[in-house]
Amino acid sequence: MRTKFDEQLNQLNQELMHMGTMIEEQIQKAVVAFMKQDTELARIIMDNDTDVDREEKKIENICFNLLMQQQPVARDLRTISAAMKMVTDMERIGDHAADISEMTILIADNTYVKQLDHIQKMASETVQMLMKSIQAYVDKDMEAAKAIIKNDDVIDELFLEVKKDLIAMIHANADCGEQATDLLMVAKYFERIGDHATNIAEWVIFALDDKNREG
Amino acid sequence: MRTKFDEQLNQLNQELMHMGTMIEEQIQKAVVAFMKQDTELARIIMDNDTDVDREEKKIENICFNLLMQQQPVARDLRTISAAMKMVTDMERIGDHAADISEMTILIADNTYVKQLDHIQKMASETVQMLMKSIQAYVDKDMEAAKAIIKNDDVIDELFLEVKKDLIAMIHANADCGEQATDLLMVAKYFERIGDHATNIAEWVIFALDDKNREG
């Protein structure tokens, strides 16, 4: 019995890594589509979001089956509980890849009114953070997970930079208002992806630790 | 032993209802603040979001303790699993109350350029939907939960109406672009609250049913 349980636990692990790869790709493509104003790619990303959603439900079902078929020990319960919560953050990251792509399509008729240095920096920082959080899960590396949580400030500060940029842009030219608001939304989506990557790191710590989550 | 477990399960139920009430109030206040352009109330709502977040972690901890201290039967496992997922949707609804309030503050310097009939309708439909989904949980009412899921189309259609309104508004007066985008975001937040209320209803069904979630 235990062997079958371990097999399923192993499958859970594989599927989580698979979902991690899916959302990494979605975000990376979303950044490319956004920077190059590639609406065709943006549309593909939006379409692929249903695959991410399907994978979330698949993982949830594995978790429930694990909980229900066996009497898992405490350590397994932590792993399964963390997995159940992590997929929500992963799915949400997938949503934001689609959100960014929607914005890419919305703005596509106009060229960008300014260099997008800060947003680009935010994007690459966020992608890094996401990849590290999934790697920390794969490696069961608590120190790496803690480092990710510390790093979230960097994204928050970059968001404030972007905000300042865009407000300056509106002051210089009121006609830019609409695009500025759209770009602010894109920056906000990246900020949220950073938050979800932080959550993933917190769940990694929860899975490895033996304490409750901090309130 | 079983009595203590039942007590904790009962506490879980109470806390979920409490969190439901919290987010209902947050959303209702967010609608009032938005319609009346009441920035003071909007700020209070944003501040109160930390209470919602704290309640989420409290409920998660109860769930983990239930899973770990005892060997729950299948029905209990469904309840606990559903609770663990539901709180994420509830917390997210709380976030959107704060998001709407942030927009309220952002727009506050300008009066609304048009009657907000469709957004107001969306708001009241969404609040209704949320209240019904929490009630379905309290009553363990599968039929009510199914009816909520069916009703999500109404919100989606209202969102399309709002979008059409706002695009017409921009065409009539290009200066309205910024406010139109902001209002579109508010409408989008209501749409998402509708999605999360649908998720809550799906978790109610999962908790009462004996099948996996549909992929």
Give the residue, A25 or A114, on which the prediction is more confident: A25
Quick count: other Cβ atoms within 10 Å of Cβ A103?
Answer: 18
The pair of three-digit structure tokens given for residue B105, joined into one six-digit string: 């503050």
| Among candidates B71, B84, B178 on the partner chain, residue whose Cβ is nearest the Cβ of A71 | B71
Contact A88/A102 with Cβ under 8 angstroms? no
Contact yes or no for B178 and A182 at CB 8 A: no
> Which residue in chain B has the smallest CA separation from A76?
B68
What are the two backbone dihedrals, phi and then psi, of residue B100, each rounded to the nearest 5 degrees?
Answer: -60, -40
- Strand extents, DSSP E, chain A: none
Confidence of residue A215 (pLDDT cuts 50, 70, 90): very low
Ranked by mean pLDDT, the top range of A24-33, A108-117, A164-173 is A24-33
Contact yes or no for B215 and A61 at CB 8 A: yes
The residue with tokens 């899921």 is B149
Which residue of B81, B86, B189, B192 is the best one to mutate when testing the A interface, meaning the one whose CB has the most A CBs within 10 A?
B81
The Cα A41–Cα A67 span in angstroms is 39
Residues of chain B that touch chain A, judged by Cβ-Cβ distance less than 8 Å: 54, 57-58, 60-61, 63-65, 67-68, 71, 74, 77-78, 81, 84-85, 88, 170, 177-178, 180-182, 185, 212-215
Q: What is the pLDDT of residues B54-77, one digit of tens each?
A: 999 999 999 988 888 767 777 888
Which amino acid is located at B65 in the chain? N
Which residue of B8, B51, B57, B67 is the best one to mutate when testing the A interface, meaning the one whose CB has the most A CBs within 10 A?
B67
The pair of three-digit structure tokens given for residue A170, joined into one six-digit string: 């509106």
Provide the pLDDT for residue A1. 56
Contact yes or no for A178 and B181 at CB 8 A: yes
Tell me the CA end-to-end span of chain B in Å, nearest whole number. Answer: 37
- Residues of chain A contacting residue B61, judged by C-beta atoms under 8 Å apart: 212-213, 215
Long-range contact pairs involving A103-106 (C-beta distance under 8 Å, separation at least 24):
A103/A34, A103/A182, A103/A185, A103/A186, A103/A189, A104/A30, A104/A33, A104/A34, A104/A37, A104/A38, A104/A39, A104/A42, A105/A39, A105/A42, A105/A43, A106/A182
Of the candidates A13, A97, A14, A10, the one whose C-alpha atom is nearest the C-alpha of residue A53 is: A97
Q: What is the pLDDT of residues A134-154, one digit of tens each?
A: 999 889 999 999 999 998 889
Of the candidates A166, A170, A204, the one whose C-alpha atom is nearest the C-alpha of residue A185 is: A166
At A190, is the secondary structure helix, strand, or coil? helix
- Residues of chain B contacting residue A214, judged by C-beta atoms under 8 Å apart: 57
Provide the pLDDT for residue A152. 85
Contact yes or no for A64 and B81 at CB 8 A: yes
Contact yes or no for A81 and B84 at CB 8 A: yes
CA dihedral (A89, B53, B76, B2) positive or negative = positive
Contact yes or no for A177 and B182 at CB 8 A: no
Residues of chain A that touch chain B, judged by Cβ-Cβ distance less than 8 Å: 54, 57-58, 60-61, 63-65, 67-68, 71, 74, 77-78, 81, 84-85, 88, 170, 177-178, 180-182, 185, 212-215
| Among candidates A57, A61, A81 on the partner chain, residue whose Cβ is nearest the Cβ of B64 | A81
Q: What is the pLDDT of residues B122-166, one digit of tens each?
A: 999 999 999 999 999 889 999 999 999 998 889 989 988 888 888
The Cα A59–Cα A11 span in angstroms is 9
The Cα B144–Cα B118 span in angstroms is 25
Give the CB-side neighbour count of residue A41, counting CA atoms within 13 A: 18
The pair of three-digit structure tokens given for residue B181, joined into one six-digit string: 């985008």
Closest chain B C-alpha to A97 CA, distance in angstroms? 16
Q: Given 3.20.20.70, 1.20.58.220, 3.30.360.10, 3.90.79.10, which CATH number is that of B2-208? A: 1.20.58.220
What are the two backbone dihedrals, phi and then psi, of residue B214, each rounded to the nearest 5 degrees?
Answer: -80, 140
pLDDT of A206 strictly over 80: yes
Q: What is the pLDDT of residues B159-195, one digit of tens each?
A: 888 888 887 777 777 677 678 778 888 998 999 999 9
pLDDT of A171 strictly over 80: no
CA dihedral (A71, A72, A77, A79) positive or negative = negative
Closest chain B C-alpha to A140 CA, distance in angstroms? 20
> Which residue in chain A has the smallest CA separation from B106?
A181
Confidence of residue A213 (pLDDT cuts 50, 70, 90): low
Ranked by mean pLDDT, the top range of A96-110, B106-120, B201-215 is A96-110
Contact A27/A97 with Cβ under 8 angstroms? yes
pLDDT of B214 strictly over 60: no
Q: Using CB atoms within 10 A of its CB, is residue B173 exposed (0-12), middle (13-18) or buried (19+)?
A: exposed
Contact A176/A140 with Cβ under 8 angstroms? no
Contact B55/B13 with Cβ under 8 angstroms? no
The pair of three-digit structure tokens given for residue A141, joined into one six-digit string: 């590396």
Residues, chain B: 215
Contact yes or no for B68 and A77 at CB 8 A: yes
Contact B122/B162 with Cβ under 8 angstroms? yes
pLDDT of B115 strictly over 90: no
Contact yes or no for B84 and A88 at CB 8 A: no
Q: Alpha carbon of A78 to those of A74, A75, A134, A166, B150: distances in Å?
A: 6, 5, 17, 43, 35
The answer to ipTM > 0.95 is no
